[in-house]
Amino acid sequence: MSIFVKAGPNDSTDKLIRKFQKKVLEEKVVQEIREREFHRKPSELRKEFLAERRRKIKRYLRSM
H helices of the chain, in order, are 13-26, 29-36, 42-63
pLDDT in tens, 2-61: 888 999 899 999 999 999 999 999 999 999 999 999 999 999 999 999 999 999 999 999
- For the entire predicted model, the pTM comes to 0.59
- Taking the C-alpha atoms of residue 52 and residue 35, their distance in angstroms, rounded to an integer, is 16
